[in-house]
Structure 1
Amino acid sequence: MKTIIPIIFTALISLTMSSQTSAQSTSDRTVVRELDLNRYLGTWYEIARFPHSFEKNLQGVTATYSLRRDGKIKVLNQGFKGSLEGKLSTAVGKAKIPDPSQPSKLKVSFFLWFYGDYFVLELDPDYKWAMIGSSTDNFFWILSRTPKMDPAVYQMLLENAKKRGYNISRIQVVDQK
């Protein structure tokens, strides 16, 4: 049973993301023009997100990106169920940049060949924070290199998300240690 839960978790992530890619978006999906992958690699703390079944009740969520030998990106997502003291849940996936001329439009998979969009919409010049979306209005994240984000930066990102057409009332703040 312990082995089946992570498999189900990763399958839900992949199926949910891949099934949503065909829906039309009403929000601005303009991505950052340049992305230095080597600077983007490493651990990001999830500060806020739109709710999804694959992250339900997860707190202390992090995403760690590292380069694989085959040129793809290893994705390690972790979070604690229910609270910061809850059981650790882990999902391992992969990401790729399908079009090198658009490095900010990645595809992420946690299950076989099912890929979902991962668009870097906004990025701090020093890679301290990022705003992530997809080709639909269903996915949105605010990420930071630190567990806590400057409230002024967070507010600016919320305002930018609203200007892009996101329904910011859907955003859930994620507890971090």
Structure 2
Amino acid sequence: MTLFLYLRTSFISTLGLLLISLASFQALAQQDNQAVKTIPSLDVPRYLGTWYEIAKFPNWFQKKCISNTKAAYTAKPDGNLRVLNSCKTVGGETSEAEGLARQIGAKDSPKLEVRFAPEWLSFLPMVWGDYWVIDLDPQYQLAVVSDPSREYLWVLSRTPQLDPKVYADLLQRLQQQHFDIQKLELTSQKN
């Protein structure tokens, strides 16, 4: 009787592990099928300049920002990009963060990495964050940036305000990329 209970318990444990493994495998396969898709190519000189944040997924490093969030990109002589993020805080001050962006892969790659940590830490992989351009209109007036895990999302525009129809169309494209658009927070852009 004890051997029977042992075999039965062992069988149930093995079956449970098999089912958990199968579920994990299916989740990974489904995630691969739903990988974040970038735009085909990025013309970096056209991307340079100022972008206003229209909406974002909430994140810890922008908690102090309450309005007027924007990013300015300029070319550096070494081929990398200077990134200057700024926003207004609750106290009315302007908060700025300067960083560096570099392309990953070909010269027209839409995949970049950014870091805001000091340069002497740039050898550490953890100080670099993925910056993937996943949506961009042909005129380079509206862009969406994310990462492979869909943890971050920014909707950017060359103007502080965005036409509601353009924004609604963009939200549909983001849903097709399996983003939870309910998480998006609109950014206040005041004069």
TM bracket, shorter-chain basis: 0.7 to 0.9
C-alpha separation in 1, matches of 2:75 and 2:150: 28
Q: Cα offset for 1:28? A: 3.9
SS, match of residue 60 in structure 1 = strand
Q: Cα offset for 1:152? A: 0.6
Corresponding residue number in structure 2 for 1:107: 113
Moved over 3 A (4+): 24-28
Sequence identity of aligned pairs in percent?
Answer: 38
C-alpha separation in 2, matches of 1:65 and 1:101: 16
Q: Cα offset for 1:57? A: 4.0
Corresponding residue number in structure 2 for 1:37: 44
Across the two proteins, how many residue pairs are aligned to each other? 152
> Which amino acid is 1:41 matched to?
L
C-alpha separation in 2, matches of 1:161 and 1:80: 27
C-alpha separation in 1, matches of 2:103 and 2:63: 27
C-alpha separation in 2, matches of 1:32 and 1:156: 16
SS, match of residue 54 in structure 1 = helix
Q: Cα offset for 1:69? A: 1.6
Query: Cα deviation per residue 1:30-82 (whole Å; 9 max; x = unaligned)?
Result: 11112110000000000000000111141110000000122110000000113
C-alpha separation in 2, matches of 1:66 and 1:46: 17
Corresponding residue number in structure 2 for 1:139: 152
Calculate the TM-score normalised by the size of structure 2.
Answer: 0.75
Structure 1 or 2, whichever has the larger Rg, is 2
Q: Is the 8 A contact 2:83 2:99 kept in 1?
A: yes
Corresponding residue number in structure 1 for 2:54: 47
SS, match of residue 103 in structure 1 = coil
- Structure 1 residues without counterparts, runs of 5 or longer: 1-23
C-alpha separation in 2, matches of 1:57 and 1:155: 27
> Which amino acid is 1:50 matched to?
F
| Aligned: 1:87 with 2:93 | yes
> Which amino acid is 1:39 matched to?
R
C-alpha separation in 1, matches of 2:172 and 2:64: 25
SS, match of residue 29 in structure 1 = coil
SS, match of residue 182 in structure 2 = helix
| Aligned: 1:78 with 2:86 | yes
Tell me which of the two structures has the higher relative contact order, counting C-alpha pairs closer than 8 angstroms and 6 or more residues apart: 1
C-alpha separation in 2, matches of 1:34 and 1:52: 27
Q: Is the 8 A contact 2:174 2:181 kept in 1?
A: yes
Corresponding residue number in structure 2 for 1:3: none
C-alpha separation in 2, matches of 1:101 and 1:89: 31
Aligned CA-pair RMSD: 1.7
Q: Cα offset for 1:103? A: 1.2
2:76 to 68, 73, 80: 68
SS, match of residue 46 in structure 2 = helix
C-alpha separation in 1, matches of 2:36 and 2:71: 22
